[in-house]
Structure 1
Amino acid sequence: MEVPSEASSLAQGLRLVRLVADREKQGRQLLGVSQMAAELDMEQSRVSRLAQELCDLELLEREDRGPFRVGRRFFALAGSLNRNWVHESKAELEELVAGFGLRARLSVRDGVRVQLLRSSSNNAAFGGFARPGMVTPVWCTGAGRALLWDHDGGALESLLRDVNFIGVGGPAAAHAPAEVQALMERDKLAGYVLATEEYEHDVWELGVPVRSPRGEILAALSVLGSRSGAEPDIAVVADAVQAASKRLGSAQGQDY
Protein backbone atom coordinates (compact mmCIF):
# COMPACT_ATOMS: atom_id res chain seq x y z
CA MET A 1 0.00 0.00 0.00
CA GLU A 2 1.36 3.43 -0.95
CA VAL A 3 2.12 5.70 2.01
CA PRO A 4 0.60 9.22 1.66
CA SER A 5 3.25 11.88 1.06
CA GLU A 6 2.20 13.77 4.20
CA ALA A 7 2.77 10.68 6.37
CA SER A 8 6.09 10.01 4.67
CA SER A 9 7.24 13.61 5.21
CA LEU A 10 6.20 13.47 8.87
CA ALA A 11 8.07 10.22 9.46
CA GLN A 12 11.20 11.52 7.76
CA GLY A 13 11.00 14.82 9.62
CA LEU A 14 10.76 12.97 12.92
CA ARG A 15 13.85 10.95 11.94
CA LEU A 16 15.75 14.20 11.44
CA VAL A 17 14.67 15.57 14.82
CA ARG A 18 15.52 12.28 16.51
CA LEU A 19 18.99 12.20 14.91
CA VAL A 20 19.79 15.78 15.95
CA ALA A 21 18.42 15.33 19.48
CA ASP A 22 20.28 12.05 20.05
CA ARG A 23 23.62 13.46 18.90
CA GLU A 24 23.23 16.57 21.04
CA LYS A 25 22.19 14.50 24.06
CA GLN A 26 25.20 12.19 23.65
CA GLY A 27 27.64 15.08 23.19
CA ARG A 28 28.55 13.96 19.66
CA GLN A 29 29.48 16.20 16.74
CA LEU A 30 26.46 17.99 15.28
CA LEU A 31 25.64 17.55 11.61
CA GLY A 32 24.83 19.62 8.55
CA VAL A 33 22.53 18.75 5.65
CA SER A 34 24.92 16.52 3.71
CA GLN A 35 26.00 14.62 6.81
CA MET A 36 22.41 14.03 7.93
CA ALA A 37 21.49 12.83 4.46
CA ALA A 38 24.34 10.31 4.54
CA GLU A 39 23.51 9.20 8.09
CA LEU A 40 19.83 8.58 7.26
CA ASP A 41 20.35 7.41 3.65
CA MET A 42 18.06 10.15 2.30
CA GLU A 43 18.38 12.48 -0.66
CA GLN A 44 20.25 15.65 0.27
CA SER A 45 17.66 17.91 -1.37
CA ARG A 46 14.86 16.31 0.66
CA VAL A 47 16.82 16.61 3.91
CA SER A 48 17.49 20.26 3.12
CA ARG A 49 13.79 20.97 2.54
CA LEU A 50 12.58 19.07 5.60
CA ALA A 51 15.26 20.62 7.82
CA GLN A 52 14.22 24.10 6.71
CA GLU A 53 10.59 23.34 7.48
CA LEU A 54 11.60 22.06 10.92
CA CYS A 55 13.60 25.24 11.48
CA ASP A 56 10.55 27.31 10.48
CA LEU A 57 8.61 25.39 13.15
CA GLU A 58 11.49 26.04 15.62
CA LEU A 59 11.89 22.30 16.24
CA LEU A 60 15.43 22.62 14.84
CA GLU A 61 17.76 25.59 14.57
CA ARG A 62 21.13 26.49 13.05
CA GLU A 63 23.42 29.52 12.96
CA ASP A 64 25.13 30.86 9.82
CA ARG A 65 24.48 27.67 7.82
CA GLY A 66 26.25 25.65 10.50
CA PRO A 67 25.19 22.31 12.03
CA PHE A 68 21.66 21.74 13.29
CA ARG A 69 20.59 21.61 16.94
CA VAL A 70 17.21 21.13 18.55
CA GLY A 71 15.16 24.31 18.70
CA ARG A 72 13.09 26.22 21.24
CA ARG A 73 9.79 24.57 20.34
CA PHE A 74 11.31 21.11 20.77
CA PHE A 75 12.07 21.83 24.43
CA ALA A 76 8.67 23.46 24.95
CA LEU A 77 6.94 20.38 23.54
CA ALA A 78 9.07 18.02 25.64
CA GLY A 79 8.30 20.04 28.74
CA SER A 80 4.57 19.99 28.10
CA LEU A 81 4.63 16.20 27.70
CA ASN A 82 6.75 15.54 30.76
CA ARG A 83 5.52 18.02 33.32
CA ASN A 84 3.02 15.64 34.91
CA TRP A 85 4.15 12.10 35.69
CA VAL A 86 7.87 12.81 35.34
CA HIS A 87 7.49 15.78 37.68
CA GLU A 88 5.54 13.66 40.13
CA SER A 89 8.21 10.95 40.07
CA LYS A 90 10.59 12.95 42.27
CA ALA A 91 8.28 12.66 45.27
CA GLU A 92 7.62 8.97 44.58
CA LEU A 93 11.35 8.18 44.38
CA GLU A 94 12.06 9.96 47.65
CA GLU A 95 9.15 8.19 49.35
CA LEU A 96 10.71 4.85 48.41
CA VAL A 97 14.03 6.06 49.82
CA ALA A 98 12.38 7.08 53.08
CA GLY A 99 10.52 3.80 53.37
CA PHE A 100 13.30 1.36 52.54
CA GLY A 101 16.62 3.20 52.22
CA LEU A 102 17.03 1.81 48.69
CA ARG A 103 18.13 3.63 45.57
CA ALA A 104 15.22 4.38 43.26
CA ARG A 105 15.09 5.10 39.53
CA LEU A 106 12.70 6.07 36.76
CA SER A 107 13.76 4.83 33.30
CA VAL A 108 12.49 4.60 29.73
CA ARG A 109 13.37 2.30 26.83
CA ASP A 110 15.20 3.27 23.65
CA GLY A 111 15.38 0.10 21.55
CA VAL A 112 17.66 -2.34 23.38
CA ARG A 113 18.85 0.36 25.76
CA VAL A 114 17.40 1.74 28.98
CA GLN A 115 17.79 5.46 29.56
CA LEU A 116 17.66 6.85 33.09
CA LEU A 117 15.29 9.81 33.50
CA ARG A 118 15.64 10.43 37.21
CA SER A 119 17.33 8.85 40.24
CA SER A 120 16.76 9.33 43.94
CA SER A 121 18.81 11.73 46.05
CA ASN A 122 20.54 8.94 47.99
CA ASN A 123 22.25 7.51 44.91
CA ALA A 124 25.64 9.10 45.66
CA ALA A 125 25.50 7.97 49.29
CA PHE A 126 25.72 4.37 48.11
CA GLY A 127 28.57 5.02 45.72
CA GLY A 128 26.15 5.02 42.80
CA PHE A 129 27.19 6.33 39.42
CA ALA A 130 23.71 6.87 37.97
CA ARG A 131 23.07 10.19 36.28
CA PRO A 132 20.12 11.27 34.10
CA GLY A 133 20.81 10.12 30.57
CA MET A 134 22.82 7.07 31.68
CA VAL A 135 22.27 4.09 29.38
CA THR A 136 22.14 0.41 30.43
CA PRO A 137 21.07 -2.81 28.64
CA VAL A 138 17.38 -3.64 28.44
CA TRP A 139 17.75 -7.42 28.85
CA CYS A 140 19.78 -7.67 32.08
CA THR A 141 18.42 -4.93 34.33
CA GLY A 142 15.33 -4.83 36.49
CA ALA A 143 14.12 -1.63 34.86
CA GLY A 144 14.88 -2.96 31.39
CA ARG A 145 12.96 -6.19 31.75
CA ALA A 146 10.05 -4.29 33.33
CA LEU A 147 9.97 -2.24 30.11
CA LEU A 148 9.75 -5.52 28.17
CA TRP A 149 6.79 -6.76 30.22
CA ASP A 150 4.36 -6.80 27.30
CA HIS A 151 6.78 -8.44 24.83
CA ASP A 152 5.96 -12.03 23.95
CA GLY A 153 8.57 -14.55 22.82
CA GLY A 154 8.42 -13.47 19.19
CA ALA A 155 8.76 -9.78 20.03
CA LEU A 156 11.72 -10.47 22.33
CA GLU A 157 13.42 -12.56 19.66
CA SER A 158 12.95 -9.80 17.10
CA LEU A 159 14.17 -7.06 19.45
CA LEU A 160 17.24 -8.93 20.72
CA ARG A 161 18.17 -10.81 17.55
CA ASP A 162 21.26 -8.71 16.79
CA VAL A 163 22.35 -8.09 20.39
CA ASN A 164 25.86 -9.15 21.40
CA PHE A 165 25.32 -10.68 24.85
CA ILE A 166 28.96 -11.65 25.39
CA GLY A 167 30.74 -9.69 28.10
CA VAL A 168 27.69 -7.66 29.09
CA GLY A 169 26.16 -7.73 32.55
CA GLY A 170 26.83 -9.58 35.77
CA PRO A 171 27.14 -13.29 36.57
CA ALA A 172 23.41 -13.98 36.32
CA ALA A 173 22.81 -12.11 33.05
CA ALA A 174 20.97 -13.82 30.21
CA HIS A 175 23.02 -14.67 27.12
CA ALA A 176 20.26 -15.32 24.58
CA PRO A 177 16.70 -14.16 23.85
CA ALA A 178 15.32 -17.50 25.05
CA GLU A 179 16.99 -16.98 28.44
CA VAL A 180 15.47 -13.50 28.68
CA GLN A 181 12.06 -15.00 27.91
CA ALA A 182 12.52 -17.61 30.66
CA LEU A 183 13.34 -14.89 33.18
CA MET A 184 10.29 -12.88 32.08
CA GLU A 185 8.01 -15.90 32.50
CA ARG A 186 9.40 -16.47 35.98
CA ASP A 187 8.92 -12.86 37.02
CA LYS A 188 5.41 -12.55 35.62
CA LEU A 189 4.30 -15.20 38.10
CA ALA A 190 5.53 -12.90 40.90
CA GLY A 191 4.11 -9.75 39.30
CA TYR A 192 7.40 -7.84 39.23
CA VAL A 193 10.92 -8.16 37.85
CA LEU A 194 13.69 -9.13 40.26
CA ALA A 195 17.10 -9.00 38.58
CA THR A 196 19.78 -10.23 40.97
CA GLU A 197 23.38 -9.71 39.82
CA GLU A 198 22.19 -9.57 36.22
CA TYR A 199 23.94 -6.26 35.56
CA GLU A 200 26.14 -5.44 38.58
CA HIS A 201 27.84 -7.78 41.03
CA ASP A 202 26.23 -7.82 44.48
CA VAL A 203 23.27 -5.70 43.30
CA TRP A 204 19.63 -6.64 42.94
CA GLU A 205 17.05 -4.48 41.17
CA LEU A 206 13.29 -4.78 41.50
CA GLY A 207 11.33 -3.14 38.69
CA VAL A 208 7.74 -2.70 37.53
CA PRO A 209 6.25 -0.97 34.49
CA VAL A 210 4.59 2.43 34.76
CA ARG A 211 1.46 2.37 32.61
CA SER A 212 -0.64 5.18 31.19
CA PRO A 213 -4.40 5.23 31.86
CA ARG A 214 -4.76 3.43 28.49
CA GLY A 215 -2.44 0.63 29.60
CA GLU A 216 0.65 1.56 27.57
CA ILE A 217 4.03 1.18 29.23
CA LEU A 218 5.46 4.67 29.74
CA ALA A 219 8.49 3.88 31.87
CA ALA A 220 9.87 1.58 34.54
CA LEU A 221 10.09 2.33 38.25
CA SER A 222 12.77 0.37 40.09
CA VAL A 223 14.68 0.15 43.36
CA LEU A 224 18.18 -1.23 43.89
CA GLY A 225 19.80 -2.85 46.90
CA SER A 226 22.93 -4.78 47.83
CA ARG A 227 23.05 -8.50 48.52
CA SER A 228 25.72 -7.87 51.14
CA GLY A 229 23.43 -5.60 53.17
CA ALA A 230 20.31 -6.31 55.18
CA GLU A 231 17.71 -7.40 52.65
CA PRO A 232 14.18 -6.02 53.14
CA ASP A 233 11.02 -8.03 52.67
CA ILE A 234 10.91 -8.18 48.87
CA ALA A 235 7.14 -8.66 48.77
CA VAL A 236 6.61 -5.51 50.84
CA VAL A 237 9.01 -3.54 48.63
CA ALA A 238 7.26 -4.81 45.50
CA ASP A 239 3.86 -3.71 46.82
CA ALA A 240 5.22 -0.22 47.49
CA VAL A 241 6.87 0.10 44.07
CA GLN A 242 3.73 -1.14 42.31
CA ALA A 243 1.57 1.35 44.21
CA ALA A 244 3.97 4.18 43.29
CA SER A 245 3.95 3.12 39.63
CA LYS A 246 0.15 3.22 39.54
CA ARG A 247 0.12 6.74 41.00
CA LEU A 248 2.64 7.90 38.40
CA GLY A 249 0.68 6.29 35.57
CA SER A 250 -2.55 7.97 36.64
CA ALA A 251 -0.74 11.33 36.75
CA GLN A 252 0.18 10.97 33.06
CA GLY A 253 -3.20 12.15 31.89
CA GLN A 254 -3.65 15.05 34.31
CA ASP A 255 -3.06 18.78 33.84
CA TYR A 256 -1.39 20.85 36.52
Structure 2
Amino acid sequence: MDVSPEASSLAQGLRLVRLVADREKQGRQLLGVSQLAAELDMEQSRVSRLSQELCDLGLLEREDRGPFRVGRRFFALAGSLNNGWVHDARAELEELVSDFGLRARLSVRDGVRVVLLRSSSNNAALGGFAKPGMVTPVWCTGAGRALLWDHSGSQVESLLGQVNFIGVGGPSAAHSPAEVIDLMARDRPSGYVLADEEYEHDVWELAVPVRSPRGEILAALSVLGNRQRAEKNVAAIVDALQSASRRLGSSGSPSS
Protein backbone atom coordinates (compact mmCIF):
# COMPACT_ATOMS: atom_id res chain seq x y z
CA MET A 1 0.00 0.00 0.00
CA ASP A 2 1.28 3.46 -0.92
CA VAL A 3 1.44 5.56 2.25
CA SER A 4 3.44 8.45 0.79
CA PRO A 5 2.30 12.04 1.46
CA GLU A 6 1.37 12.35 -2.22
CA ALA A 7 -0.92 9.31 -2.03
CA SER A 8 -2.51 10.64 1.16
CA SER A 9 -3.15 14.04 -0.42
CA LEU A 10 -4.67 12.40 -3.49
CA ALA A 11 -7.03 10.27 -1.38
CA GLN A 12 -8.11 13.23 0.71
CA GLY A 13 -8.59 15.38 -2.37
CA LEU A 14 -10.78 12.73 -3.97
CA ARG A 15 -12.86 12.50 -0.79
CA LEU A 16 -13.30 16.24 -0.89
CA VAL A 17 -14.39 16.30 -4.54
CA ARG A 18 -16.76 13.39 -4.00
CA LEU A 19 -18.43 15.07 -1.01
CA VAL A 20 -18.97 18.30 -2.95
CA ALA A 21 -20.24 16.43 -6.03
CA ASP A 22 -22.60 14.22 -4.00
CA ARG A 23 -24.16 17.16 -2.16
CA GLU A 24 -24.67 19.06 -5.39
CA LYS A 25 -26.16 16.00 -7.10
CA GLN A 26 -28.56 15.44 -4.20
CA GLY A 27 -29.62 19.07 -4.14
CA ARG A 28 -28.33 19.53 -0.59
CA GLN A 29 -26.84 22.71 0.87
CA LEU A 30 -23.36 23.41 -0.46
CA LEU A 31 -20.55 23.72 2.07
CA GLY A 32 -17.62 26.00 2.83
CA VAL A 33 -14.21 25.11 4.23
CA SER A 34 -15.16 24.72 7.90
CA GLN A 35 -18.24 22.63 7.10
CA LEU A 36 -16.30 20.39 4.71
CA ALA A 37 -13.64 19.89 7.37
CA ALA A 38 -16.29 18.85 9.88
CA GLU A 39 -17.98 16.46 7.43
CA LEU A 40 -14.67 14.81 6.51
CA ASP A 41 -13.17 14.93 10.02
CA MET A 42 -10.11 16.73 8.66
CA GLU A 43 -8.16 19.74 9.89
CA GLN A 44 -9.60 22.97 8.54
CA SER A 45 -6.18 24.16 7.37
CA ARG A 46 -5.74 20.92 5.43
CA VAL A 47 -9.13 21.29 3.74
CA SER A 48 -8.40 24.92 2.94
CA ARG A 49 -5.12 24.01 1.25
CA LEU A 50 -6.55 21.03 -0.66
CA SER A 51 -9.65 22.89 -1.80
CA GLN A 52 -7.53 25.73 -3.14
CA GLU A 53 -5.40 23.26 -5.11
CA LEU A 54 -8.56 21.64 -6.46
CA CYS A 55 -9.92 25.04 -7.48
CA ASP A 56 -6.62 25.80 -9.22
CA LEU A 57 -7.05 22.53 -11.15
CA GLY A 58 -10.63 23.45 -12.06
CA LEU A 59 -12.11 20.44 -10.25
CA LEU A 60 -13.87 22.68 -7.72
CA GLU A 61 -14.98 26.29 -7.85
CA ARG A 62 -16.43 28.92 -5.52
CA GLU A 63 -17.51 32.55 -5.74
CA ASP A 64 -16.49 35.24 -3.26
CA ARG A 65 -15.30 32.73 -0.65
CA GLY A 66 -18.71 31.11 -0.69
CA PRO A 67 -19.57 27.37 -0.75
CA PHE A 68 -17.85 24.98 -3.12
CA ARG A 69 -19.35 23.33 -6.17
CA VAL A 70 -17.80 21.10 -8.80
CA GLY A 71 -15.83 22.92 -11.49
CA ARG A 72 -15.65 22.75 -15.25
CA ARG A 73 -12.63 20.46 -15.24
CA PHE A 74 -14.64 17.92 -13.24
CA PHE A 75 -17.26 17.76 -15.98
CA ALA A 76 -14.58 17.60 -18.67
CA LEU A 77 -13.02 14.59 -16.97
CA ALA A 78 -16.44 12.97 -16.58
CA GLY A 79 -17.14 13.58 -20.25
CA SER A 80 -13.88 11.90 -21.24
CA LEU A 81 -15.15 8.73 -19.57
CA ASN A 82 -18.37 8.82 -21.59
CA ASN A 83 -17.35 6.06 -23.96
CA GLY A 84 -17.95 2.38 -24.50
CA TRP A 85 -21.32 1.18 -23.28
CA VAL A 86 -22.34 4.57 -21.87
CA HIS A 87 -21.69 6.24 -25.22
CA ASP A 88 -23.35 3.44 -27.17
CA ALA A 89 -26.46 3.68 -25.00
CA ARG A 90 -27.59 6.87 -26.73
CA ALA A 91 -28.37 5.05 -29.98
CA GLU A 92 -29.91 2.09 -28.17
CA LEU A 93 -32.27 4.34 -26.20
CA GLU A 94 -33.42 6.18 -29.31
CA GLU A 95 -34.01 2.91 -31.13
CA LEU A 96 -36.29 1.77 -28.31
CA VAL A 97 -38.19 5.06 -28.59
CA SER A 98 -38.51 4.62 -32.36
CA ASP A 99 -39.77 1.05 -32.04
CA PHE A 100 -42.22 1.46 -29.15
CA GLY A 101 -42.78 5.16 -28.45
CA LEU A 102 -41.89 4.69 -24.79
CA ARG A 103 -39.40 6.55 -22.61
CA ALA A 104 -36.07 4.76 -22.29
CA ARG A 105 -33.40 5.04 -19.61
CA LEU A 106 -29.98 3.77 -18.61
CA SER A 107 -29.35 3.80 -14.86
CA VAL A 108 -26.78 2.70 -12.28
CA ARG A 109 -26.99 1.99 -8.56
CA ASP A 110 -25.48 4.02 -5.74
CA GLY A 111 -26.40 2.22 -2.54
CA VAL A 112 -30.19 2.42 -2.16
CA ARG A 113 -30.41 5.05 -4.90
CA VAL A 114 -30.75 4.68 -8.67
CA VAL A 115 -28.88 7.35 -10.63
CA LEU A 116 -30.01 8.12 -14.17
CA LEU A 117 -27.07 8.13 -16.60
CA ARG A 118 -28.88 8.63 -19.89
CA SER A 119 -32.45 9.13 -20.96
CA SER A 120 -34.12 9.13 -24.36
CA SER A 121 -34.94 12.39 -26.11
CA ASN A 122 -38.68 12.06 -25.41
CA ASN A 123 -38.27 12.24 -21.62
CA ALA A 124 -38.33 16.03 -21.72
CA ALA A 125 -41.46 15.99 -23.86
CA LEU A 126 -43.23 13.71 -21.39
CA GLY A 127 -42.79 15.59 -18.16
CA GLY A 128 -39.33 17.09 -18.20
CA PHE A 129 -38.21 15.79 -14.81
CA ALA A 130 -36.03 12.88 -15.95
CA LYS A 131 -32.60 14.34 -16.49
CA PRO A 132 -29.16 12.71 -16.08
CA GLY A 133 -28.28 12.69 -12.40
CA MET A 134 -31.89 12.22 -11.30
CA VAL A 135 -32.10 9.96 -8.25
CA THR A 136 -34.92 7.47 -7.57
CA PRO A 137 -35.33 4.63 -5.04
CA VAL A 138 -33.83 1.23 -5.78
CA TRP A 139 -36.69 -0.71 -4.19
CA CYS A 140 -39.71 0.62 -6.12
CA THR A 141 -38.44 1.23 -9.65
CA GLY A 142 -38.00 -1.25 -12.46
CA ALA A 143 -34.43 -0.10 -13.05
CA GLY A 144 -33.69 -0.39 -9.33
CA ARG A 145 -34.92 -3.93 -9.04
CA ALA A 146 -33.04 -4.88 -12.23
CA LEU A 147 -29.90 -3.59 -10.51
CA LEU A 148 -30.70 -5.87 -7.55
CA TRP A 149 -31.15 -8.90 -9.82
CA ASP A 150 -28.20 -10.84 -8.39
CA HIS A 151 -28.85 -9.91 -4.76
CA SER A 152 -29.82 -12.74 -2.44
CA GLY A 153 -32.63 -12.30 0.05
CA SER A 154 -30.16 -11.65 2.86
CA GLN A 155 -28.34 -9.07 0.75
CA VAL A 156 -31.61 -7.25 0.03
CA GLU A 157 -32.42 -7.31 3.75
CA SER A 158 -29.00 -5.89 4.59
CA LEU A 159 -29.21 -3.17 1.93
CA LEU A 160 -32.75 -2.04 2.72
CA GLY A 161 -32.92 -2.78 6.43
CA GLN A 162 -32.65 0.89 7.46
CA VAL A 163 -34.75 2.34 4.64
CA ASN A 164 -37.86 4.37 5.45
CA PHE A 165 -40.44 3.06 2.97
CA ILE A 166 -43.28 5.28 4.19
CA GLY A 167 -44.66 7.70 1.62
CA VAL A 168 -42.29 6.66 -1.18
CA GLY A 169 -43.45 5.38 -4.54
CA GLY A 170 -46.72 4.66 -6.28
CA PRO A 171 -49.72 2.54 -5.25
CA SER A 172 -47.91 -0.77 -5.87
CA ALA A 173 -44.60 0.16 -4.22
CA ALA A 174 -42.97 -2.29 -1.83
CA HIS A 175 -43.04 -1.25 1.82
CA SER A 176 -40.50 -3.64 3.28
CA PRO A 177 -37.42 -5.66 2.27
CA ALA A 178 -39.59 -8.78 2.33
CA GLU A 179 -41.95 -7.32 -0.27
CA VAL A 180 -39.00 -6.41 -2.49
CA ILE A 181 -37.71 -9.98 -2.20
CA ASP A 182 -41.15 -11.31 -3.17
CA LEU A 183 -41.28 -9.07 -6.24
CA MET A 184 -37.80 -10.20 -7.29
CA ALA A 185 -38.79 -13.84 -6.88
CA ARG A 186 -41.87 -13.20 -9.01
CA ASP A 187 -39.93 -11.55 -11.84
CA ARG A 188 -36.79 -13.69 -12.07
CA PRO A 189 -38.41 -16.63 -13.94
CA SER A 190 -39.55 -14.26 -16.70
CA GLY A 191 -36.07 -12.77 -17.13
CA TYR A 192 -37.14 -9.13 -16.71
CA VAL A 193 -38.58 -6.75 -14.13
CA LEU A 194 -42.13 -5.47 -14.44
CA ALA A 195 -42.81 -2.53 -12.14
CA ASP A 196 -46.52 -1.75 -12.38
CA GLU A 197 -47.20 1.65 -10.73
CA GLU A 198 -44.41 1.00 -8.25
CA TYR A 199 -42.97 4.51 -8.54
CA GLU A 200 -45.26 6.56 -10.78
CA HIS A 201 -49.06 6.36 -11.06
CA ASP A 202 -50.29 4.83 -14.31
CA VAL A 203 -46.77 3.90 -15.42
CA TRP A 204 -45.41 0.50 -16.32
CA GLU A 205 -41.64 0.06 -16.29
CA LEU A 206 -39.95 -2.91 -17.94
CA ALA A 207 -36.26 -3.34 -17.10
CA VAL A 208 -33.33 -5.70 -17.53
CA PRO A 209 -29.78 -5.65 -16.17
CA VAL A 210 -26.84 -4.80 -18.41
CA ARG A 211 -23.96 -7.18 -17.71
CA SER A 212 -20.25 -6.90 -18.38
CA PRO A 213 -18.45 -9.68 -20.29
CA ARG A 214 -17.61 -11.14 -16.85
CA GLY A 215 -21.28 -11.26 -15.90
CA GLU A 216 -21.31 -8.43 -13.38
CA ILE A 217 -24.22 -5.99 -13.49
CA LEU A 218 -23.09 -2.65 -14.88
CA ALA A 219 -26.40 -0.86 -15.27
CA ALA A 220 -30.12 -1.26 -15.89
CA LEU A 221 -31.87 -0.62 -19.20
CA SER A 222 -35.56 0.22 -18.94
CA VAL A 223 -38.56 1.59 -20.79
CA LEU A 224 -41.52 3.37 -19.25
CA GLY A 225 -45.02 4.16 -20.44
CA ASN A 226 -48.68 3.82 -19.63
CA ARG A 227 -50.14 0.37 -19.21
CA GLN A 228 -52.29 0.47 -22.36
CA ARG A 229 -49.34 1.16 -24.65
CA ALA A 230 -46.82 -1.15 -22.94
CA GLU A 231 -49.02 -4.12 -22.10
CA LYS A 232 -49.81 -5.08 -25.69
CA ASN A 233 -46.11 -5.19 -26.67
CA VAL A 234 -44.49 -6.83 -23.65
CA ALA A 235 -42.86 -9.72 -25.50
CA ALA A 236 -41.43 -7.49 -28.22
CA ILE A 237 -40.26 -4.87 -25.72
CA VAL A 238 -38.52 -7.44 -23.54
CA ASP A 239 -36.83 -8.99 -26.55
CA ALA A 240 -35.59 -5.56 -27.66
CA LEU A 241 -34.40 -4.68 -24.15
CA GLN A 242 -32.49 -7.92 -23.75
CA SER A 243 -30.88 -7.59 -27.18
CA ALA A 244 -29.86 -4.00 -26.45
CA SER A 245 -28.48 -4.95 -23.03
CA ARG A 246 -26.34 -7.69 -24.57
CA ARG A 247 -24.92 -5.25 -27.12
CA LEU A 248 -24.13 -2.68 -24.44
CA GLY A 249 -22.67 -5.28 -22.12
CA SER A 250 -20.35 -6.64 -24.79
CA SER A 251 -18.52 -3.29 -24.82
CA GLY A 252 -18.60 -2.84 -21.05
CA SER A 253 -16.28 -3.84 -18.25
CA PRO A 254 -16.59 -3.97 -14.45
CA SER A 255 -14.58 -0.77 -14.19
CA SER A 256 -16.65 1.17 -16.73
| Shorter-chain TM-score above 0.5 | yes
- TM normalised by structure 1 equals 0.85
Aligned amino acid, residue 197 of structure 2: E
Aligned amino acid, residue 88 of structure 1: D
Aligned amino acid, residue 139 of structure 2: W
Distance 1:10 1:214 in 2: 30
Aligned amino acid, residue 250 of structure 1: S
Q: For 1:1-256, what aligned pairs fall within 5 Å after superposition?
A: 4=3, 10-55=10-55, 57-62=57-62, 65-127=65-127, 129-229=129-229, 231-252=231-252
Distance 1:230 1:249 in 2: 25
Aligned amino acid, residue 173 of structure 2: A
Distance 2:29 2:93 in 1: 34
Quote how far apart the aligned CAs of 1:4 are.
4.8
Alpha-carbon deviations, 1:179-236, whole Å to 9, x = none? 1112112222111111111112221101111223333322211011212446233222
Distance 1:135 1:74 in 2: 20
Give the conservation status (yes or no) of the 8 Å contact 2:204–2:230. no
For the aligned residues, what is the CA RMSD? 2.7
Give the conservation status (yes or no) of the 8 Å contact 2:113–2:138. yes
Quote how far apart the aligned CAs of 1:144 are.
0.8
- Unaligned runs of at least 5 residues, structure 2: none
Give the conservation status (yes or no) of the 8 Å contact 1:85–1:252. yes
Alpha-carbon deviations, 1:15-69, whole Å to 9, x = none? 2111111233345443222110122333324433443454465433446654333
Give the conservation status (yes or no) of the 8 Å contact 1:202–1:228. no
Aligned amino acid, residue 176 of structure 2: A
Of stretches 28-37 and 117-126 in structure 1, the one that deviates more from structure 2 is: 117-126
Are residues 198 and 64 of structure 1, via their aligned partners in 2, closer, same or farther at CA, if it must alter by over 3 Å?
A: closer
Are residues 126 and 46 of structure 1, via their aligned partners in 2, closer, same or farther at CA, if it must alter by over 3 Å?
A: closer
Aligned amino acid, residue 14 of structure 1: L
Of stretches 98-107 and 230-239 in structure 1, the one that deviates more from structure 2 is: 230-239
| Paired positions, count | 252
Quote how far apart the aligned CAs of 1:138 are.
0.8
Aligned amino acid, residue 181 of structure 1: I
Distance 1:3 1:187 in 2: 45
Give the conservation status (yes or no) of the 8 Å contact 1:61–1:71. yes
Of stretches 174-183 and 58-67 in structure 1, the one that deviates more from structure 2 is: 58-67
Are residues 216 and 95 of structure 1, via their aligned partners in 2, closer, same or farther at CA, if it must alter by over 3 Å?
A: same
What SS does structure 2 have at the residue aligned with 1:82?
Answer: coil
- Unaligned runs of at least 5 residues, structure 1: none
Quote how far apart the aligned CAs of 1:73 are.
3.8
Give the conservation status (yes or no) of the 8 Å contact 1:37–1:47. yes
Identity %: 81
Are residues 119 and 167 of structure 1, via their aligned partners in 2, closer, same or farther at CA, if it must alter by over 3 Å?
A: same
Are residues 201 and 68 of structure 1, via their aligned partners in 2, closer, same or farther at CA, if it must alter by over 3 Å?
A: closer
Distance 1:185 1:100 in 2: 27
Are residues 5 and 178 of structure 1, via their aligned partners in 2, closer, same or farther at CA, if it must alter by over 3 Å?
A: farther
